[in-house]
Structure 1
Amino acid sequence: FSTDPTDVQLELSNRELKDLLARTQFAMAQQDVRYYLNGLLLEIRPGRLRTVATDGHRLAMAELNRELSAKKDTQVILPRKTVIELQRLLDVSDAPVKLSLTSNQIQVDLEDLRLTSKLIEGRFPDYERVIPEDSDKIIKCGRLKVRAALARAAILSNEKFRGVRLTLEADMLRIQTQNPEQEEAEEEVEIEYNGAPLEIGFNVSYLLDALDAIEGEEFIFKLRSPDASGLIHDAAQASGKFVVMPMRL
């Protein structure tokens, strides 16, 4: 570990850190030339710890709200390999994990193990700017019901583009997909919605990843227009947010 004085130290449980990583790591980029996207942002502020990942097409953010021992605001980017290794080492216990950060390194102390890693240099995008705030079409849906319908539709989606078309009507979500062999799938799911009709396309894999990162039985899906990003979060609490850019179909 470097001889720099440690800038920031904080302690949380195995379970808390594992959960923050699990809810965001799937959105990290892979081998993007914007190297800072090939990792995961760890943001520490008074009373809050956030993890954020984005590959430019989608974004995942999770947060833990409680007082931590860290004394100053900090943002660091953990490399992809470090995140995956941590996820493997952590368990779902209340055993403590201590994080020590300097300007270019992180040290993670578990009960019987120490992991040290370099950090990714660079500036993470201003992620708060891409979280939609003015969506006027708000849907409440059963998570498992919608997930199952999307998974069935995904089987017949184009393997390369993975596109699905979502059509919103009063209390109804229609999911449609087709592939180059002209095979089509259509699913209808009852939802809570009383706004204007809307048709929008998404990458079905991104929607499934977001729903898998939510634990609650119901989720909120906020949309505005066919060319604006959608926002997904647990209906019970918004400590995790998932932004998905639309695609043209």
Structure 2
Amino acid sequence: MKFIISRDQILPPLQQIVSVIEKRQTMPILSNVLLQASDEQLVMTGTDTEIQIVAKLNIESISHSGEITVPARKFLDICRLLPNGAEIHFELQDDKVKVVSGRSRFSLSTLPAEHYPEFNESDFEHGFLLNAGKFKKALDKTVFCMANQDVRYYLNGLLLNVSNSKLKLVASDGHRLSIYEDDIGQATGYESRIIMPRKAVQELSRLLDDADAELNIQFSSNNIRIFYKDVVFSSKLIDAKFPDFSKVFNQSFMSPLLIQKQVLRDALTRVAILSNEKYKGVTFDISGDLLKLSTHNPEHDEAEEELIIDYQGEPLSISFNSQYMLDAVSNLDSEMAVLTIAGNASSCFIEEPEQPLFKFIVMPMRM
């Protein structure tokens, strides 16, 4: 196995692949990246057995085809620290790989390619095409609401719901929920719901760096596979049913509260400085055209701030986790924020005033 490749060509896909490889592995070979060179193409594969990224690079200078696995992070660090535009000569000699660039020479240990685990995928029943920028925006507007290591394991992921030409992404950690709805742009002719695991969602959001590219998304009940430029991203899915969140919409609501997003964000950030470090609670006292934010902590520190709002409803006092509120408000694209509290004060909807694609729901807390 012998080929020459430029540092600038191999580095970006290698960085994408290494990001899915766990630092601590039960199997040593999972710390390696699989390299397969043949027919003017270099194929690089990395996996943690739950997620896999395969990158295909076209290179003309393959003098000997073959396959081998090399330590992923060491190989990445070598490529990353070489100068821009450097040419990398890669050659397999016995059970070592020689990497030569300019006056730099490296010798890496290897493990045989035939021991590299196969990523088992079932037949893909459904598929659709989608703009990468649209999908990345949907991921970014929902990813922060996913749970982390919750015993309700279905919350440690993201619901992807396809209903003919409509796409809906939903994430919740039980205290807050984000919903993103958009048009796919074509009729798929089916209705399907899958849950992507947390790590897969985070890696995919990191991977999609070209807003103009097109994604080919294929999935079954067990796996999802996404073709993006020269990369194939695959992940296993969470085998569970996502909770029915539709009931939160079927209730009476109080009058909406309109406020400038940046004003609310800045005030929340200031007041939260003196909130309880564990619970981060801030009380919203709403009456007429005034919103008073207040908080206190076990050290008897207190903070309050008054803001001008547009509100026609009854006076109300309700408390929220300030960080959850900040996350929701920060993810709005408009200058104004609309806060609508449920009639029984069980939840607060945060959205944009004009045709919102996404909604954030935050549950109140007891102070």
TM over 0.5: yes
Letter in 2 for 1:95: A
Larger radius of gyration: 2
Task: Indicate the SS of the match to 2:340.
Answer: strand
Q: Distance in 1 between matches of 2:147 and 2:209?
A: 25
Name the counterpart of 2:291: 173
Correspondence 1:64 to 2:182:
yes
Is residue 154 from structure 1 mapped to residue 269 from structure 2 by the alignment?
Answer: no
Match status 1:231 vs 2:349: yes
1:245 has 2:363 as partner: yes
Question: One-letter code of the match for 1:184?
Answer: E
Over the matched positions of the two proteins, sequence identity in percent amounts to 41
| C-alpha contact 2:122 2:222 (8 A) present in aligned 1 | no
The Cα of 1:132 is off from its aligned counterpart by: 5.9
Per-residue deviation, 1:134? 1.5
Partner amino acid, structure 2, of 1:166 = F
Residues 53-81 of structure 1: per-residue CA shift (max 9 Å, x gap): 01111110011124335321010000000
Distance 1:160-1:226 versus aligned 2 partners, 3 A rule: farther
Counterparts of 1:1-249 in structure 2, within 5 Å, are: 4-131=122-249, 133-224=251-342, 227-249=345-367
Aligned length: 249
Residue 201 of structure 2 aligns to a residue whose secondary structure is helix
- Tell me which amino acid in the other structure corresponds to 2:155: L
Highest relative contact order (Cα 8 Å, sep 6+), 1 or 2? Answer: 1
Cα offsets for 1:155-193 (capped at 9, x unmatched): 111110010000001111110011111111111111111
Contact 2:161 2:193 in 1 (8 A): yes
The ranges of structure 1 where at least 4 consecutive aligned residues each deviate by more than 2 angstroms after the TM superposition are 1-5, 65-71, 130-133, 224-227
Cα distance in 1 between the residues matched to 2:313 and 2:284: 14
TM-superposed deviation, 1:133: 4.0
Q: In the aligned structure 1, how far is the partner of 2:150 from the partner of 2:176? A: 14
Conserved 8 A contact 1:18-1:92: no
Distance 1:13 1:214 in 2: 21
Please give the TM-score of this superposition, normalised by the length of structure 1.
Answer: 0.95
Q: Deviations over 1:200-225 (max 9, x none)?
A: 00001110010111111111100135
Distance apart, 1:3 and its partner CA: 5.9
Unaligned residue ranges in structure 2 (runs of 5+): 1-118
